[in-house]
């Protein structure tokens, strides 16, 4: 990035872009910021066409720099295209921004219709017909993602099998700087139970869970937010969707609060995802639980620093203890109690 | 030892929210934040009521496991480091019961409705 010129108002820049891309389309409408942190933004908008509005999403980084762990928006766009070509349900990428567009870095993709809010997906009657097959939908989606030929993946993807990911967790714990005996025990357990890194690293989505799954009454419609994609152990994705923190009270439905591991694994294997190793998945479940626990713990500092002094932020910090119970369920189950989930 | 931020840090944020946001911004997001703020006040009340007793019980357990007394921060640092380095483990007498009791004490303050907590509570009482 060499251009330091300020970006024109986003709606104007998008209108110019739309005029070039789709001469038949008219104005930009409904431009609305959806979410995103300081470095990445997600916007909803539409191009008004003769057949009605075309609903779209802009993912962009107004500045140049994103987190070290983020794949980068151009890489994300490339992964979405590869996933779509491999039969996974993902939003179709319409356009990757160039510097000439003066919208920052990023891309434009189709805006999918559906729901991402877990409590609605798990409770609303609209999704009652979908819930029984969501675990299988997830298995199938992950199989299609993991089957992408690693030789075709962008060179910019970082390689992060279990050994690398575990070192990251150790650093997170050390950086938080407050002692937590249960988290320390879990780190020790993970070190002692770490599976060998697979010989062949595959594409891992890295954040396959509620919030990043667009779900409709017909099931999983799209896998979103590829920011944390990396090369690694595909069992990481199967473990992450089973972490107790995503069950929202439905603790006997380990897969996202809506399904059973057996369904997830069977659909994954049936869709050609390769053999599932439940012990390896279990390692990644414990890993994922701790990863979320450390994320919660870290919120105390974010709250204090003033970067986000909201009550909501503080209260996320106080959810780390939920993860302690979940971790103990996995690695130090109460006598007579069965394992978590 | 309760987690952070402490109730004494959270309550001023609730007060600021009530003073600055609730009075000026009546959006749906403020309504959501108001529910979070109410939960925060409940948490602070539980912390004030339960933490002193929980902390004392924790101090006694830690003294038995570590063989010496000290403030909770220092004792928890010693315990966490020993677990991380494998000098102490789940086979250490009293360890498993201590970790469960301490985490359950945190949940009693932080999130007594958490489903896994309710299940563990039921299991420990039966």
A35 forms bridges with which residues in the sheet?
Answer: A42
pLDDT, position A6: 52
B contact residues 5-34, partner A, Cβ 8 Å cutoff: 5, 9-10, 13-14, 16-17, 33
Q: Compute the nearest-CA separation of B70 from chain A (Å).
A: 15
- H/E stretch holding A221: strand A219-223
pLDDT band at A8 (very low <50, low <70, confident <90, very high): low
| Residues B88-110: tens digit of each pLDDT | 999 999 999 999 999 999 999 99
Q: Averaged over A229-240, what is the pLDDT?
A: 97
Determine contact: B115 vs chain A, CB below 8 A: yes
Q: Compute the nearest-CA separation of A96 from chain B (Å).
A: 32
Q: Compute the nearest-CA separation of A132 from chain B (Å).
A: 21
Nearest-CB residue to B4 (from A178, A310, A328): A178
| Residues A170-216: tens digit of each pLDDT | 999 999 999 999 999 999 999 999 999 988 999 999 999 999 999 99
Residues of B in contact with A329 (CB under 8 A): 116, 120
Q: What percent of chain A has pLDDT over 90?
A: 75
Query: Is residue B2 situated within a structural domain?
Result: no
Residues of B in contact with A178 (CB under 8 A): 4
Q: Are strands A213-216 and A219-223 parallel, antiparallel or unpaired?
A: antiparallel
| Residues A59-111: tens digit of each pLDDT | 998 765 545 566 789 999 999 999 999 999 999 999 999 888 888 889 999 99
pLDDT, position A38: 59
Dig out the tokens for A313 from the structure: 């932020």
pLDDT, position B92: 97
pLDDT, position A340: 45
Do the chains contact at A311 and B14, CB–CB below 8 Å?
A: yes
pLDDT, position A337: 55
Do the chains contact at A179 and B17, CB–CB below 8 Å?
A: no
Considering its fold, how many domains does chain B have in total? 1
pLDDT band at A228 (very low <50, low <70, confident <90, very high): very high
Q: Compute the nearest-CA separation of B118 from chain A (Å).
A: 10
Query: Is residue B26 situated within a structural domain?
Result: yes
Q: What does the mean pLDDT of chain B come to?
A: 96
What is the C-alpha to C-alpha distance for residues A64 and A74, in angstroms, rounded to an integer? 12
Q: What's the burial of A288, exposed, middle or buried (CB within 10 Å: 0-12/13-18/19+)?
A: buried
Domain borders along chain A are: 10-110, 118-331
Nearest-CB residue to A319 (from B9, B111, B116): B111
B contact residues 75-114, partner A, Cβ 8 Å cutoff: 76-77, 79-81, 83-86, 89-90, 96, 99-100, 102-104, 106-107, 110-111, 114
pLDDT, position A87: 96
Query: Is residue B1 situated within a structural domain?
Result: no
- Nearest-by-CA chain A residue for B15: A311
| Residues B53-64: tens digit of each pLDDT | 999 999 999 999
Do the chains contact at A188 and B83, CB–CB below 8 Å?
A: yes
pLDDT, position A61: 86
- With a cut of 50, say whether residue A1 has pLDDT above it: no
Nearest-CB residue to A317 (from B5, B102, B111): B5
pLDDT, position A25: 67
Do the chains contact at A311 and B106, CB–CB below 8 Å?
A: no
Do the chains contact at B5 and A249, CB–CB below 8 Å?
A: no
Do the chains contact at A315 and B124, CB–CB below 8 Å?
A: no
> Cβ distance A150 to A231 under 8 Å?
yes
| Residues A141-167: tens digit of each pLDDT | 999 999 999 999 999 999 999 999 999
| Residues A42-53: tens digit of each pLDDT | 999 998 877 788
Decide: helix, strand or coil at residue A38: coil
Nearest-CB residue to B103 (from A182, A184, A336): A182
Do the chains contact at A332 and B90, CB–CB below 8 Å?
A: yes
Nearest-CB residue to B80 (from A180, A247, A318): A180
Residues of A in contact with B101 (CB under 8 A): none
> Cβ distance A255 to A249 under 8 Å?
no
Backbone angles phi, psi at A142, to 5 degrees: -65, -40
Note the CATH number of domain A10-110: 3.30.200.20
For residue B48, the enclosing domain spans: 7-125
Residues of A in contact with B115 (CB under 8 A): 247, 249-251
pLDDT, position A336: 62
Decide: helix, strand or coil at residue B117: helix
Do the chains contact at A181 and B102, CB–CB below 8 Å?
A: yes
Nearest-CB residue to B36 (from A251, A311, A320): A311
**ipTM of the shown complex:** 0.96
Specify the CATH superfamily of domain A118-331. Answer: Aminoglycoside phosphotransferase (APH), C-terminal lobe (3.90.1200.10)
pLDDT, position B20: 93
pLDDT, position A165: 98
Which of A254, A235, A247 lies closest to A142, judged by CA? A235
- Which of A157-161, A236-240, A319-323, B120-124 shows the lowest per-residue confidence on average (mean pLDDT)? B120-124
- With a cut of 90, say whether residue B38 has pLDDT above it: yes
- Within 10 angstroms of residue A106's Cβ, the number of other Cβ atoms is 25
């Amino acid at each position: 990035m060499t251009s330091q010129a300020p970006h024109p108002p986003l709606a104007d820049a998008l209108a110019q872009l739309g005029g070039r891309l789709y001469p038949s389309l008219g104005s930009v409408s409904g431009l609305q910021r959806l979410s995103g942190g300081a470095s990445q933004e997600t916007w909803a908008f539409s191009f008004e066409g003769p057949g009605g509005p075309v609903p779209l999403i802009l993912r962009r980084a107004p500045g140049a720099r994103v987190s070290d762990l983020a794949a980068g928006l151009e890489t994300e766009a490339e992964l979405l295209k590869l996933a779509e070509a491999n039969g996974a349900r993902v939003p179709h990428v319409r356009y990757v921004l160039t510097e000439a567009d003066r919208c920052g870095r990023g891309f434009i993709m189709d805006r999918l219709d559906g729901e991402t809010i877990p409590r609605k997906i798990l409770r609303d009657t609209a999704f009652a017909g979908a819930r029984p097959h969501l675990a299988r939908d997830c298995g199938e989606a992950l199989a299609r993602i993991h089957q992408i030929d690693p030789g075709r993946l962008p060179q910019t993807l970082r390689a992060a099998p279990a050994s690398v990911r575990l070192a990251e967790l150790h650093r997170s714990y050390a950086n938080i700087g407050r002692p937590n005996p249960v988290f320390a025990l879990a780190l020790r357990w993970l070190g002692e139970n770490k599976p060998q890194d697979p010989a062949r690293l595959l594409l891992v989505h890295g954040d396959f869970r509620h919030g990043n799954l667009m779900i409709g009454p017909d099931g999983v419609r799209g896998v979103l937010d590829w920011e944390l994609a990396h090369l690694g152990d595909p069992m990481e994705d199967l473990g992450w969707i089973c972490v107790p923190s995503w069950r929202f009270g439905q603790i006997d439905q380990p897969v996202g609060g809506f399904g059973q591991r057996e369904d997830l694994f069977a659909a994954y294997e049936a869709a050609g995802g390769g053999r599932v190793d439940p012990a390896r998945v279990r390692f990644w479940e414990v890993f994922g639980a701790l990863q979320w626990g450390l994320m919660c713990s870290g919120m105390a500092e974010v709250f204090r620093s003033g970067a986000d002094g909201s009550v909501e932020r503080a209260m996320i910090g106080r959810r780390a203890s939920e993860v302690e119970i979940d971790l103990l369920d996995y690695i130090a189950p109460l006598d007579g109690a069965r394992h978590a989930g | 030892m309760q987690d952070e931020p402490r109730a004494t840090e959270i309550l001023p944020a609730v007060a600021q929210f009530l003073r600055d946001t609730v009075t000026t911004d009546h959006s749906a997001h403020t309504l959501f934040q108001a529910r979070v703020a109410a939960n925060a006040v409940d948490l602070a009340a539980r912390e004030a009521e339960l933490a002193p007793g929980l902390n004392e019980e924790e101090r006694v357990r830690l003294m038995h496991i570590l063989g010496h007394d000290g403030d909770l921060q220092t004792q928890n640092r010693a315990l966490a480091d020993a677990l991380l380095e494998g000098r102490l483990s789940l086979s250490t007498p009293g360890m498993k019961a201590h970790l469960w009791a301490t985490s359950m004490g945190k949940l009693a303050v932080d999130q007594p409705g958490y489903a896994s907590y309710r299940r563990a509570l039921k299991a420990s009482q039966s």
